[in-house]
Amino acid sequence: MARHSPFPVIGRRILAAVPSIIGVVIITFLLARALPGDPAAYFAGPAATQEAIEEIRVSLGLDKTLFEQFFIYLGDLTRGDFGFSFTTGQPVAEDLTTRLPASLELTLAGLIFSLSLALPLGILAATRPGSWIDHGVRVLATAGVSLPTFFTGLLLIYVFYFRLGIAPAPLGRLDIIYSPPEAVTGFYLIDSLLAGDFELFFAAFKQLILPAITLGLFALAPLARVTRAAMLGVLSSDFIRTARANGLPPRMVLFGYAFRNAMLPVITTMGIVFSFLLGANVLVEKVFAWPGIGSYAVAALVASDYAPVQAFVLIMSLLYVFLNLAIDLLYTVIDPRAGVES
């Protein structure tokens, strides 16, 4: 049987994403203009005269028609210019350079923590349905998704920082006595290792533990439930019964056949959870003073600062598109039939 190249599949997925990206650019531009309030009046201040407000409106380009503003926006995007943030006083691209890696590092750490628990617990629950382990996993998953992230974060801070004193103060990515590592990837854990500074690595790791656990507990519920349901469906399949009847080792049947076939829905859920956490971790960032993109976007939204809000929505949408592409490619690795059927 001839092997099918994955490159046509990649090309089709990329072409299919182009209309989505165009739509996101248009909708982002229109939604930002639909924000309540007048940004010119906000930045001019309550005591500003009408002439001063008009001058600021001209400097922001708000005196032009909507079509003119849109084409100016497109031209800026082609140059990688996301505009200027009046809330921080810096170009939006510079703000994103520091804040987006912070959110990505926190989200990835939370996802890794949740996967390290959800996959084993889901497999255990599926292999022992109706047992105390199965009921315990259900209770843990329900508690994880029921508790708001800000409450979980505050509870962890109270227990491990205030009461036990074993966690560092929730003051962002590093304690005030440390300086950030030289920016290479923007991930403090990776950059500190690249610099060979292990003390800085452990300092950044300690700051990351509690917010990552807060996010991870919230993501644990859907991942554990999908893993359990997928494994239950596969374990009751005919080919699993055939493999067991042929005398294959239980570990090979469980991980070599059952778990591999149950991975597709788990990967789909993992992608959805990751994209949701990346855009919705603003509460965790606020609780732990984490300088991420979520809190940055909320501050810009309150101030009716168009440029950061546009950049946030656009970046999140592009990340979601590329995440879906990565999931599609993982499908072809786990099950080559997915690439052929595409």
- Tell me: do 83 and 218 sit in the same domain: no
| 126, 225 Cβ separation under 8 angstroms | no
Residue 97 lies in a domain: no
Average pLDDT taken over every residue of the chain? 81
Q: What is the mean pLDDT of residues 219-236?
A: 86
- Give yes or no for a contact between 276 and 203, defined as CB atoms under 8 angstroms apart: no
Q: Are residue 191 and residue 82 in the same domain, yes or no?
A: no
pLDDT at res. 158: 92
Under the banding of pLDDT at 50, 70 and 90, the label for residue 269 is confident
Quote the domain boundaries for residue 118: 105-291
Domain count, the chain: 2
Question: Is residue 126 located within the same domain as residue 81?
Answer: no
Given a cut of 60, is residue 137 above it in pLDDT? yes
| Residue 214: C-alpha distances to residues 110, 211, 219, 222 (Å) | 7, 5, 9, 15
pLDDT tens by residue, 270-288: 888 887 787 678 888 889 9
Identity (one letter) of the amino acid at 280?
Answer: A
Q: Is 181 left (phi over 0), alpha (psi -120 to 50) or beta?
A: beta
Query: Using alpha carbons only, what angle is made at residue 131 by residues 127 and 136, rounded to the nearest 5 degrees?
Result: 100
Q: Of 315, 291, 292, 307, whose CA–CA distance to 89 is shortest?
A: 307
- Same domain as 274, residue 136: yes
CA dihedral 256, 261, 262, 264 (to 10 degrees): 130
Tens of pLDDT, residue by residue over 43-52, are: 666 666 777 7
CATH of the domain at 282: 1.10.3720.10
Among 57-61, 238-242, 334-338, the range with the most confident prediction by mean pLDDT is 238-242
Q: How far is CA 340 from CA 5, 170, 268, 284, 332, in A?
A: 9, 49, 18, 41, 8
pTM > 0.85: no
Q: Does residue 95 register a pLDDT over 60?
A: yes
Binned at pLDDT 50, 70 and 90, residue 234 comes out as: confident
- Tell me the mean pLDDT in the region 81-101: 85
Residue at 314 is within a domain:
yes
**Residue environment code for 303-329, b if the CB has 16+ CB neighbours within 10 A, otherwise e:** bbbbbbbbbbbbbbbebbbebbbebbe
Q: Does 172 share its domain with 317?
A: no
Residue among 256, 283, 263, 258 at smallest CA distance from 223:
263
Predicted confidence band at 39 (pLDDT cuts at 50, 70, 90)? low
Decide if pLDDT at 340 tops 50. no
Residue pair 342/9 in contact by the 8 Å Cβ criterion: yes
Tell me whether residue 340 is in a domain.
Answer: yes
State whether 60 and 133 are in the same domain: no
In a domain? residue 156: yes
284, 333: one domain: no
Domain match, 258 and 144 both: yes
Mean pLDDT in residue range 28-40: 70
In this predicted structure, what is the pLDDT of residue 333?
67
Q: Which residues pair with 128 in a beta bridge?
A: none
What angle do the packed helices 260-280 and 306-334 form, to 10 degrees? Answer: 170
Range among 1-5, 30-34, 188-192, 338-342 rated most confident: 188-192
